[in-house]
Structure 1
């Protein structure tokens, strides 16, 4: 048996295989369209566990890119910066939101893009940024955790309120028990008996009450009549007061005139009294001076002079009494001296 290899056939096979491989590579290369990606950045405030470089980026479930880089942001230490490579023709709009999502039960994470009703976002970065930034929202797990936390907080609040209500119910129950104690039940029973007695008394005196109501109605009717006539009465009263005021003014004028007359009379009486006193003094002086010359006539004229002096003194006393009487009661000049009241048995 011939074991010699046919090197010509082997060489031909290698050449044909190489041509086929080169043709396959060229065919695959020419048939594949080169994709252009734009880099976007997002900042996530939650854990990115399960998200890796080359993790897919999906837009409404369609893969449109991949995660290019994951790192902490020195300027925003509470957030994780994720760079996304997204195809240039993907309709990224101003309201497009990136969310961290999990794929099934495997725990593999990816970035889900949702929304797209606004204007297209600019592919140029804002001033001070290297890449255009997309908005983010918490993942489903974070939202569930927040909802559960809020639910537990509300449950705790409800529990606290329920405990307070139970305490209030206990206090109310205790108050009801105290209210329904034997002593209070006896007081309530006595109160009900008193109310029944009062009701029976009112029922027995219904006729008297009706009469009282009729009397009250009559009184109210009379009051209405009096109220109707009251303006006329007030008018007449005002006229009467005006008349009294005028009378008082007239009486005041008359009183002033009487006072003037009394003052003048007092002045005249005082002058007369002084004149009489001077005359008496002059008579006494004359008598004293003429005493030596008329000794012979002493026995005849002295009694007459003494009588005259006595009468002058009585006149002066009377004038003084009249002056005091005028001071006490000036009206005697107009109305005369009032008669004194008669004593017992006098007529």
Structure 2
């Protein structure tokens, strides 16, 4: 009987010790920090994300995921409830992505900020409304989308290859290969045809050198001729050159014609005109009195007061 009472006391003591240790552990492990709730709304899959998953801001743990549920108002959307430390700088430009830890595949929520806003994200004048953080595709989601695009392109490439390897296309391809082989054979025959021309290249090069030498000589002669022409032009255009002297002579000749010859010509012309008038009068007199050649001109009638004057009746 006494052994049973000792065993019962030991059992009660053990149970009491366990209860006390549990209460002490809960009391010591409780979180006294008041956290700020945020909701993350997304239509993407959240595979690998569990309750109490870590929430990291630029790699630093700032909270946990406390709830994962569907949005009753918008079917297809998922709402993640986050409990984040109050000193975390969650702003209006903060966004969330889904990250994965190493090779374990355990998902966590990664917060990042574009830096376009400095205003902290808070509820709009309603403490019952939880602020919402938008979620963007993470690296795995982008890889998945790009992988699907690559698979679609691969399928399109395979389809085109199958189309190209169709029997009808294979025949055309073989014909093209044969034509390429013929063209290659013709190309191989070209060096043999070019050998005579290549053999004459040294001779042509020598002739080209001689031609270039003659061209240089001709250029030098042309340069000398140009210099001589320039010198001749300079001499002709000099102040005491032939052109200047010729201009001076022509000026003297012009002055002589103007001052000496032309007046004499004018005088001679006047005398010739007077002679012609006299000759004209003589001719008219001979026509009227031809006998004047033999007897001379008759005397003029006497005037008043002269001997032989007869007054008219």
TM norm structure 2:
0.51
Q: 1:194 to 1:223 in 2, by over 3 A?
A: same
Q: What's 1:193 paired with? A: 196
Q: 1:80 aligns with which of 77, 102, 105?
A: 77
Instruction: Name the residue aligned to 1:42.
Output: 40
Alignment RMSD (CA, Å): 6.0
Pairing partner for 1:58 from 45, 48, 53 = 53
Q: Unaligned regions of 5+ residues in structure 2, if any?
A: 1-14, 163-168, 297-313
Residues of 1 paired with 2:284 and 2:182: CA distance? 117
Q: Tell me how far apart the structure 2 counterparts of residues 174 and 226 of structure 1 sit (CA, whole Å).
A: 65
CA distance in 1, matches of 2:158, 2:252: 96
C-alpha contact 1:41 1:84 (8 A) present in aligned 2: yes
| Preserved CA contact (<8 Å) 1:91 1:116 | no
For 1:112, what is the secondary structure of its paired residue? Answer: strand
CA contact (8 A) 1:37 1:85 kept: no
Deviation at 1:170, TM superposition (A): 9.2
Query: In structure 1, what is the equivalent of residue 10 of structure 2?
Result: none
1:112 aligned residue (108, 112, 125): 108
CA distance in 1: counterparts of 2:144 and 2:203, whole angstroms: 73
Contact 1:101 1:139 in 2 (8 A): no
Equivalences, count: 256
Partners of 1:241 and 1:185 in 2: CA distance: 76
* 1:191 positional shift: 2.4
Q: Does the 8 A contact of 2:67 with 2:80 survive in 1? A: yes
Unaligned runs of 5+ in 1: 1-19, 303-347
d(CA) in 2 for partners of 1:235 and 1:202? 44
C-alpha deviation, 1:239, in angstroms? 2.4
TM-score, length-normalised on structure 1?
0.47
Per-residue CA distance 1:120-178 (angstroms, 9 max, x = gap): x9573257993233453435652441241354467579889999xxx9x9999677545
Q: Which residue of 1 aligns with 2:242?
A: 243
- The answer on whether the counterparts of 1:41 and 1:133 sit within 8 Å (CA) in structure 2 is yes
- d(CA) in 2 for partners of 1:269 and 1:90? 136
Match of 1:282 in 2: 281
State the partner residue of 1:124.
Answer: 122
Q: Higher helix share goes to which structure?
A: 1
Identify if the C-alpha distance between structure 1 residues 98 and 201 changes in structure 2 by more than 3 Å, giving closer, same or farther: closer
Residue 147 of structure 2 is matched in structure 1 by 148
Q: Secondary structure at the match of 2:37?
A: strand
Q: Check whether the contact 1:57–1:66 (CA below 8 A) recurs between aligned residues.
A: yes
Q: Where does residue 67 of structure 1 map in the other structure?
A: 67
